[in-house]
Amino acid sequence: MKKILLPSISLAIISTVPFLFKEPITGIVPAYIGLSSYLILFLVMLYTVRWYKFKYSNGLISFGKAFKYAFKVTLCYALIGSVIFFVYAKFNEDSLLQEMTNIMKTAQEQKIETQGYVSANYEKTISSMVSIISNPFVISGITFIGYLFWGVIFSLISAAIVKSKTGDIE
C-alpha cells in the first residue's frame, strides 16, 4: 500500500500548490505556473515508475506492468487530489463564485466584441452555469476527471520510457 499511497499523496500535493499562486484580481493561476506544475507531475510520475521498477521488479518491467502500477497511482492521486480540492472549494466558495463570475463576464465581453450583441437569455445562462460550476461537488468531479486524464497520459508515457528493452519479460 505504501508503494502506491506515498507517490499519490505527493502528486496530489504538487497538483494543488498552483492554487496558492492565483492572481489577486482575476483569481486565475498564471499559465507558466500551471504548465510547470504539469511538468513536475510528469517527472514525479516518471521517477515513481522508475523507482517501482528497481525496488519491486528487480530492474525488469514490462510496459503492461509499469502502466498498471502507474494507473493505480493515478487513480489514488486523482481521488486524493479531488478530495483536497473539495476541501479547498468548501472553504473558498465565495472566491470560486467570484472567479466563475469573472470568467463568464470576460466571455460575455469577448462575445460582444466579436458579434456585437448578446442574446436575451445570456444572463440567465450565465447565472445557471455559475451556480452549477460553483458547487464544490461538481467542481471536485471535474477536477477528478482532469487529474485522471493527465495521470493516464503521464502513466502511458512513463511506462513507455521505463519499460525494459528485453523481450522475455512476463
The residue with cell 463564485 is: 97
Ranges of beta strands (E only) in the chain are none
Domain boundaries, the chain: 2-92+144-162
Could you report the per-residue pLDDT of 44-98, keeping only the tens digit for each?
A: 999 999 999 998 888 889 999 999 999 999 999 999 989 988 888 788 777 777 7
Measured CA to CA in angstroms, residue 95 lies from 47, 92, 102, 115 at distances of 35, 5, 10, 30
d(CA 83, CA 61): 32
Could you report the per-residue pLDDT of 2-25, keeping only the tens digit for each?
A: 788 888 888 888 887 787 777 766
- 71 contacts: CB under 8 Å, gap ≥ 6: 151, 152, 155
Measured CA to CA in angstroms, residue 70 lies from 26, 90, 105 at distances of 35, 30, 40
What is the pTM assigned to this prediction?
A: 0.78
